[in-house]
Amino acid sequence: MASGIASSTSITGATAASATDAKSIAGNFTQFLTLLTTQLKNQNPLDPLDTNQFTQQLVQFAGVEQQLKTNDSLGSILTNAKASATATASGLIGKTVTADGATTDLIDGKANWTLTPQRAAARAIVTIKGTDGTVVATKTTTLKAGAQAFDWDGTSTSGLSAAAGKYTITVDALDATGAKVAVDTKVSGVVDGVDLSGSEPVLTIGTARVPASSVKSLTTSGS
């Protein structure tokens, strides 16, 4: 709620400032025209005023006025775009999303990722690390072409159960010829909140934070 109030205050302040600037430039423009008219009426016929200079000043005033109008239009577009993004992100609450990323949570002895190799891998070594960068477990497997789930039950290399928390994977894969295979990693989870305090909505999935722009797919939870 606080972030929403702050955003609203910021937008209101920007709008008020823009209105003040527009009113100020309009007043200055009117004053300039009054002075110009007075000078033209009282100029010395034998030494007339430089009309080119007045023309340049008129063009400058018109340019500033046009820029203010453009700024108002851009501000309106930005406000509408943010409102649309907010509505869209809020609609994701309760949905299961899949997003780019290699870090997810181990909860109740379960953590899962979606791996997508460029092509089938005859040998893939999956390294699982904790938040401090320490290797917790390694798994050797094969990967078929296309997206597939990789599940971890929380068992460490020593055979003990890892503590709940965030874990990150890296995948080193080779095909049948020994050539390296690039593997894309994604994470999934149910969205339980949306942070709107930044320039882009950020989805919260447990303790994980996922930018809305990184979401690749979504499904209704339980489907």
Q: Is the dihedral of CA 129, 135, 137, 139 positive or negative?
A: positive
CA of 129: how far to CAs of 105, 136, 203, in Å? 12, 5, 23
Asked if 97 and 189 count as a contact pair (C-beta separation under 8 A), the reply is: yes
Which among 172, 207, 179 is positioned nearest to 192, based on CA atoms?
207
Full pLDDT tens readout for the chain, 223 residues: 434 433 444 444 445 555 565 566 556 667 766 766 777 677 767 676 666 766 776 677 677 667 777 777 777 776 666 666 666 777 778 888 888 889 888 888 989 899 999 999 999 999 999 999 999 999 999 999 998 999 999 999 999 999 998 899 999 999 999 999 999 998 888 888 888 777 778 888 776 778 887 887 777 755 5
pTM of the model: 0.54
